[in-house]
Each structure stands twice: as C-alpha cells, then as structure tokens.
Amino acid sequence: MKKLLLILIILSSSIFSQEKELYFKTFKPNYVNIGSTFEVSTVISFLDDKIDKAEFYILPGDDAVLKSAIVNNNGKKFKLPIQKKSFGEFLDKSFLLSLKDSLMTFNSPFQIILTFAAEKEKEIDIHFGLIYKMNDRRSAVYSSFEPADSPYYLEELRITPYKVQQIAGKALQFNQRGKINFHIDNDSWQKNILIEFWANFNSSNLKFLSIVGSEFSDTLLSLNYDDYQMIITDDINKLSNFNENFFGLKNWNHFSILISKETRNAAVYGNGAKLFEIPILLSQSDIELEFLNPANKKPFIIDLLKVWSFENDIEKSFSNRHYISYQADSSSNLFTYSFDEDDVLENFELSKIDFNNLSLVESDAPIYSRAPELNVKVYEKFFSIDWVSKDVIHALKFDLEKSTDGRTFNTIFEKDAEEDEEKIYFYSDEKNPKDEIVYYRLTQINKDGSKVFSAPIKIGLGLKDIFSLDQNYPNPFNPVTNITVEMFETAEVEIYVYDIVGNKIQKLHTGSLSQGTHTFSFDGTELPSGIYFYEIKSPFSTLVRKMILAK
C-alpha cells in the first residue's frame, strides 16, 4: 500500500501542476508485432470531482480493433463494458467507455489499459474523445481532432507494427520458479557496467531482476514490473529523475541498466528513455545478475542479453539495440547471449551457470538484420555508390533506390547478395543536370522476405557546403604532392587516399577539422605509378578528386 501511495503521489505531482481541468496522458508501445495484441495506457484525472457524466471514446480506425478496457483505480482493477457509439462524424469507427461507474472515484488519478489487436500490416492511428458534464451543468468536449495548441486537445497515437525477422531466432523463457544467475567479476569492468536485454511479460506485479553483491549477498538493485505495468524498484523513496512509464503485457521492450563505480549510481532505461536513477551500495566484490520468475506467475521471456564494461555514450547502446552485435570502441563486451543455439542450456551447465526451470522458445522480438551503409562519391559527371553487406547469412538481394524529393524512391539497380563478407558492391549513376538534389537508399531483402533500409543519403545543392577540395598540386606528381581543403565551418571529416580499385592507401586525417584552410602532404614513394583518388567525407557530403603519380 505504501508503494501504491507513493506512485499516486508521483503521478499527482505532475497532474496538479497543470492548469487544465482535465489531465490526460497516454503511453503507447514502442514495438508491436504484426497480428499481435498490444496495450495502451491512459492516465486520466478530473481536477473537479463533481462529475455527473463522463464518456471516453476510442477511435482506432480501420487497422486495429479494441478488445478490452481495464480500469486501475485506487488499487482496484475491473473491466469496463465497451459500446459501439459514434463520436461526432465518425460513425461505426468509435468505441465508448462510460466512466461513471460505481467502482470508480474521480478524486485521484486513474489508469485505463486498452487492449487492441493489430490486424493489418499498416500504421495504426488511434484518436480519442472525452465528454463530461458536471453537476452544475457545465460540460466540456476534448478530442484528438482539436488543434494541438488547444486546451481541449487530446494526444493522438501512431503505432507502426514490425514484421518478425528470422534472425530473431530463439529466446529464453522463465517458467514458474525459473531463474538464472550470471556472475560478473569486479575486475572485469573499470568505470561503468551496462546490462541490456529485451523482455516480454505475461503478468504484472513481478520482481524479475536482482543485482546482488557476491560477498554479503546484499541486493544492490531490484526491478519490479508492478500493477500499473511500470518498471519500479523496492527502494522507491530513494528514486531520483523518475519518469512515468508503461510497458504493455505481451509486447517486447528493451531495458538498460547503467551502473557507475565512481558515482555509485544506477540509471535504468526503457526503450531508450530514462525511467529513474537510484544510489546503490557498491563494494569491491563481484556481483550476481539474477533473473527470477516466482511460483505463481505466468512465464516471461528475455532475449539478446548483453553485458558491457561500458565507456561510450549510452546512445551508442540505444542505436544498436536491434542488432545481435556491434562495436563500441571505448567499451568491451563481457558476454552476449542471443539464446539461438539449441544447446544453450547445456552450455550453461558446462559453464557452471546456476539456472532452473528454463526453456527455449521461438522469438518474435524486434531483432533485425543490420542494413548496409551506403557510400556515395561525387564525380564531375556521375555518382559512384558502393556498399558492403553486414549480414551475409540472411541477405538475399539488394535494391538501390533513388529519389528527388526524399519521399518517393524508385529502384535503379538490383543485385543478388553473395556470401562473401568482404564483397564490395558498386554502381555508377549518371548525373542529371535537372536534379539539384538526389537521395539514395538501399533496401536489403532478406531470405525470409523481411526488409531493412539503409539511412538515405542526400546529395546536391540542397545541402549546406561545409568544405571545398582543391586539385592537388603538383599534378601529375613524383613522389610528393599537396592536397588542400578549405573548411567553411568546424566539422568531423575523414580524408583518405585510394587506389584505382578502391583500396584505402593512406589516411590523411580523421576527426574534427577547424574552420580555415588546411594542407596535407601525400608521399607516393612506395607506390607504383598510376591513377589515385583522394576523398574528403563528412556525415553530410563527400568530395573526390583524381590525381596521377608519374615516376
């Protein structure tokens, strides 16, 4: 009960700082599998409890169906009946929940958990409407169709379902009394340790993770999935920077825990957003990472567990959470489990990892094949485009696409994928003088029919020029020449020399380059005569010039 009151205080502190007569906040899932159910949480509070009638409308459009509505009000959970009733002009597309129920009280915030079915492979737009009347005959109408700056606007939701990819493989299921314990040596991490994993829960009010000091078996941090379907900890009174959160049942969510030895502080994140921070009593002992499912709970699942000695920016982890592996130059991976091998449980036994009541199940987590990165080099009459596959196991073919507006892409080149990790794919696209701006994007079609897309690259006059590249002097040269770059503003750039087949010969510069003129010397003493290229590249543009070594 104490924890419930504290949660209500946290909710109320943000609610009653509002000047509106109604507080309305929604929480949507980040990841919804096509054909699955998903939950949306709405937190509502009327700042005047003299309510005679309140009607809550849900409009999920044609691409989702409202299945159920459960109210969480003052610690009581109960279902609300769903009626079909039009809201304004939206006939046969809206569902009504009558909020004037004998079990409800309006003098404190209450939560409504809405369960939908994603029936189509399309974006889902969910709108809301709310009508209430007071005892003194005052009334108000709120909706998602009001202007966003209106005091009567309710936030609308857009949800994009994902298609499960074969690369997701298998996941680890914790049956009743299921547990696993991972030992982490204190000497294996220096400043920070990062623990990240995907999780899918089937029941709430669940303490699913504990981090324990090995020496005295003292709990440093525990994570609970509570009745409000928030991630919280036992020591709720020690929390700082707490943010309201919600994680629906039967949906995948990504969690990260970053623990600092220097500050003795743990920051907990969900789907890339900070949930809270809490001080922890770190000692010099090793720690144990324990996942646990109690006896009376439905199974839950985890996938792609990674533990790092981490010294990068936390955003590095967030941007790579969908991929089985990634490189972090200042960090080292202590261990990663994707749980895809059939003998993973046997390997746990061989490694003397303590576990019980676990099983492997097919995973539908949003774990994706990594898309290639496009490189575009600008020449006088054409663009040279190249890429390397980052997933030769699952890639079937590549479609190189082009656009002049950044929205509509058309395929200009198709190429079957090869099972060669070092294979470089090339394409040359002739410049069209009518196109001031062009965009290139690569679509990788996988063997299971799924697709991943590279980030689009914008080339042309629509970009702000941040550097110019002069012709080298002398040219032809033997054996030394100078390459001059003028930076119009300070920026991160790379400058390389390549041979005629695209092999990197020498790095002239990588990193920040200040505004002004910079000259780099290139020595071809050890190289044969021939044509070479030098390139300057930033995240936004690339320039390439040709030079000739004549001995």
Which segments of the chain belong to CATH 2.60.40.1930?
A: 467-549
Q: Return the amino acid letter for 531.
A: I
Distances, alpha carbon 444 to alpha carbons 163, 365, 373, in Å: 14, 19, 11
pLDDT number for residue 551: 85
pLDDT at 304: 96
* % of residues, the chain, pLDDT over 70: 92
Residues of the chain with CATH 2.60.40.2060: 375-460
- Rounded to 5 degrees, φ, ψ at 351 are -85, 0
Instruction: Please determine, for residue 352, whether its predicted confidence score (pLDDT) is greater than 90.
Output: no
How many CB atoms are located within 10 Å of the residue 413 CB? 16
Average pLDDT over residues 398-406: 91
Domain with CATH 2.60.40.740 in the chain: 11-159
Q: Is the pLDDT of residue 474 over 90?
A: yes
Residues in the chain: 551
Looking at 48-57, 187-196, 318-327, 403-412, which range is the least confident one?
48-57
Confidence of residue 163 (pLDDT cuts 50, 70, 90): confident
pLDDT score of 525 more than 70: yes
* Number of CB atoms found within 10 A of residue 350's CB: 8
**Predicted local confidence at residue 5, as pLDDT:** 40
Residue 200 is predicted with a pLDDT of: 97
CA–CA separation, 181 and 193 (whole Å) = 17
Largest CA distance in the chain: 96
CA distance 390 to 422: 9
Range 223-250 average pLDDT: 90
Better-scored residue on pLDDT, 226 or 51: 226
**Quick one: pLDDT at residue 17?**
46
CA distance 73 to 9: 14
pTM, 2 dp: 0.76
Structure confidence at residue 105 as a pLDDT band (50, 70, 90)? low
**Domain with residues 375-460, CATH architecture:** Sandwich (2.60)
Calculate the CA dihedral of residues 362, 365, 369, 370 and round it to 10 degrees.
-150
Per-residue pLDDT at 7: 52
pLDDT at site 101 = 60
Mean pLDDT of 46-70: 84
Predicted confidence (pLDDT) at residue 92 exceeds the cutoff of 80: no
Please report which confidence band the pLDDT of residue 102 belongs to, taking 50, 70 and 90 as the band edges. low
Class of domain 11-159: mainly beta
Q: Which residue has the higher pLDDT, 330 or 101?
A: 330
Q: Which residue has the higher pLDDT, 310 or 492?
A: 310
Predicted pLDDT of residue 233: 92
Position 18 pLDDT exceeds 60? no
Q: Higher pLDDT residue, 86 or 523?
A: 523
76 pLDDT exceeds 50? yes
The burial class, CB within 10 Å (0-12 / 13-18 / 19+), for 197 is: buried
Q: Say yes or no to pLDDT of 150 above 80.
A: yes
Q: Which of 458, 449, 443 is nearest to 399 (CA)?
A: 443
Residue type, 408: T
Q: Contact at 8 Å (CB) between 247 and 260?
A: no
Q: Are 292 and 224 in contact (CB under 8 A)?
A: no
pLDDT at 9: 42
Residues 225, 3, 318: CA angle, nearest 5 degrees:
35
Residue pair 430/405 in contact by the 8 Å Cβ criterion? no
Name the architecture of domain 166-362.
Answer: Sandwich (2.60)
Q: Which residues of 358-373 are buried (b: 16+ CB within 10 A; e: fewer)?
A: bebeebbbbbbbbbbe
Token pair of 466 as six digits: 């941040």
Helices marked H in 67-190: none
Per-residue pLDDT at 378: 77
3-state secondary structure labels for all residues of 38-80? EEEEEEEEECCCCEEEEEEEEECCCCEEEEEEEEEECCEEEEC
Q: Is pLDDT of 464 > 70?
A: no
Report residue 114 as tokens. Answer: 């809405």
Region of poorest pLDDT, from 209-213, 371-375, 532-536: 371-375
Lowest mean pLDDT among 211-220, 482-491, 520-529: 211-220
Q: What is the pLDDT of residues 416-461, one digit of tens each?
A: 999 888 899 999 999 887 777 888 999 999 998 888 888 888 886 5
* Strand ranges (E), 293-446: 300-309, 332-337, 354-362, 375-378, 382-388, 395-403, 410-416, 424-430, 437-446
Handedness of CA 544, 545, 550, 551 (dihedral sign): negative
| Structure confidence at residue 497 as a pLDDT band (50, 70, 90) | very high
CATH number of this structure's domain 467-549: 2.60.40.1930
Residue that the structure tokens 């699942």 belong to: 301
- The mean pLDDT value for 277-286 works out to 86
Closest CA to 113 of 38, 7, 203: 38
CA angle, residues 183, 188, 194, in degrees to nearest 5: 75
**Neighbour-count burial for 269-282, b at 16+ CB within 10 Å, e otherwise:** bbbeebbbbbebeb
At 193 the pLDDT is 94
Provide the pLDDT for residue 6: 47
Q: Does pLDDT of 11 surpass 60?
A: no
pLDDT at 16: 45
**Could you tell me if 399 and 412 are in contact, meaning their C-beta atoms sit under 8 angstroms apart?**
no
Highest mean pLDDT among 40-49, 368-377, 430-439, 466-475: 466-475
Instruction: Average the pLDDT over each of 19-23, 234-238, 259-263 and give the range with the smallest value.
Output: 19-23
Among residues 501, 494, 499, the alpha carbon closest in space to that of 535 is found at 494
